[in-house]
Amino acid sequence: MNENPEPSTIQPQPRRILITGASSGIGQQAALLLRRAGHRLCLPCRDQARADATRQALLKVNVTGGDGNSDDDGDLSTPLCDLADLESIERCTEVLLAAAEPIDGLVLNAGLQDSGASEPRRSAQGHELTIAVNHLGHQALAMRLLPLLERSETPRLVITASEVHDPSSSGGRVGQPAGLGDLAGLRAGAGFSMVDGQTPFSADKAYKDSKLCNLLFARELERQRRGSGRAMPVLAWSPGLVIPRNSGGFFRYSRQHNEWGQRLFALVARDLLRLTASPERAGALLAELATAPAYAAPGFSYHVNRVLAPGRLRFELTEPSPEARNDALAAELWTVSAQLLGL
């Protein structure tokens, strides 16, 4: 499949799409393409400043079939929703549920990577922040908004994962590997540092674990929908290593890191070895996953933007890691997480 689809490959029939993490990076690039193609967008943002900036950036887009800049509130909304605060998620979803507007595509794309942190940060409810945002917040959002997905004639869920969930991948082999153990940390509730409850806190492993959670969550959600007779496409994907041209590195959320070391890493990976994807290309892939008929078949699938050679990437269907394919673990993670979320 083309690693950089043109907007013409995005499904022309307008869809109602909710995207998290659309204030910057891959999510914003996807939103720009989807807006241009005429889709109706709901882009939750964690604070008012981001909501205002995101809205202004999207209103500048020349919508297909329009007469220039569009200011149609019905086609673009930016509600406040902080994935690190379950109460904020509840408030946002209550408003959306009251409006009862069907959601055709739920795109769980936001992500936090707290690289360099030596101690865990906490969500509003006291959960380790990486897992809180990347996994728990998204599961809460999805569980609450399932009624709106069910109102759609063609529902679809997309979640941004990562190859680092797989200990055998190039990124997964660096540092401690992903692994959830028996979920002892998550079972303990607020105050856990790592999901497995065993290993000392590692920001890098926490991120890998959160991406493993994304895949297990996606597979369990798809299994539940299929079992209830409401099968739908559930697509997990890895965008690859994405480093913006004007960025020194990819750790946007890091508090503590070696700035010059990251700039050197970006120079080598992006410019010398050419192993990275641009946000624009990754955003185009995300937009296609959310709308293209090629991804409309019910069932779970996992797609990776894989490096074949320097400067050559191919977007392809693949299998997640063995742990990510563990049905019993997927079901248990869903249950333990739902209990922690009070859902």
Quick: pLDDT tens for 21-43.
Answer: 999 999 999 999 999 999 999 99
Q: Could you report the per-residue pLDDT of 238-257, keeping only the tens digit for each? A: 998 766 655 443 333 344 44
Whether pTM exceeds 0.85: yes
In a domain, 265, yes or no: no
In a domain, 318, yes or no: yes
HSE-CB for 182 with a 13 A CA cutoff: 2
Q: Could you report the per-residue pLDDT of 291-317, keeping only the tens digit for each? A: 999 999 999 999 998 865 556 678 999
In a domain, 255, yes or no: no
pLDDT above 90 as % of the chain: 73
In a domain, 272, yes or no: no
Listed in sequence order, the DSSP H helices in the chain are: 25-36, 48-59, 86-99, 129-131, 137-150, 184-188, 203-227, 259-266, 279-291, 327-341
Say which amino acid occupies 76.
L
Flag whether pLDDT at 4 surpasses 70. Answer: no
Q: CB–CB of 212/180 below 8 Å?
A: yes
Q: What is the pLDDT of residue 243?
A: 62
Question: Which CATH number do you get for residue 168?
Answer: 3.40.50.720
Q: In sequence order, what are the residues at sequence separation of 6 or more whose Cβ sits closer than 8 angstroms to the Cβ of residue 113?
A: 130, 203, 207, 250, 251, 252, 253, 254
pLDDT above 70 as % of the chain: 81
How large is the average pLDDT for residues 66-79? 65
Question: Cα 197 from chain centroid?
Answer: 24
Q: What is the pLDDT of residue 259?
A: 54
Q: Could you report the per-residue pLDDT of 99-154, keeping only the tens digit for each? A: 999 999 999 999 998 877 889 999 999 999 999 999 999 999 999 999 999 999 99
In a domain, 250, yes or no: no
Q: What is the pLDDT of residue 171?
A: 85
Q: CB–CB of 92/86 below 8 Å?
A: no
Q: What is the pLDDT of residue 144?
A: 98
Count of structural domains, the chain: 1
HSE-CB for 13 with a 13 A CA cutoff: 8
In a domain, 334, yes or no: yes
Measured over the CA atoms of residue 133, residue 139, residue 144 and residue 149, the dihedral's sign is positive
307-326 exposure pattern, b = at least 16 Cβ within 10 A, e = fewer: beeeeebebeeeebbebbeb
In a domain, 111, yes or no: yes
**Which domain range does residue 77 map to?**
7-243+279-341
In a domain, 267, yes or no: no
Which residues face 303 on adjacent strands?
A: 237, 317
E strands, 60-206, where? Answer: 76-77, 105-108, 156-160
Helix, strand or coil, per DSSP, at residue 309:
strand
Q: Measure the CA angle with vertex 114, ends 217 and 287; round to 5°.
A: 50
φ, ψ for residue 314 (rounded to 5)? -135, 130
How large is the average pLDDT for residues 47-67? 85
Q: Could you report the per-residue pLDDT of 174-207, keeping only the tens digit for each? A: 899 999 999 999 999 999 999 999 999 999 999 9
Helix, strand or coil, per DSSP, at residue 322:
coil
Flag whether pLDDT at 270 surpasses 90. Answer: no
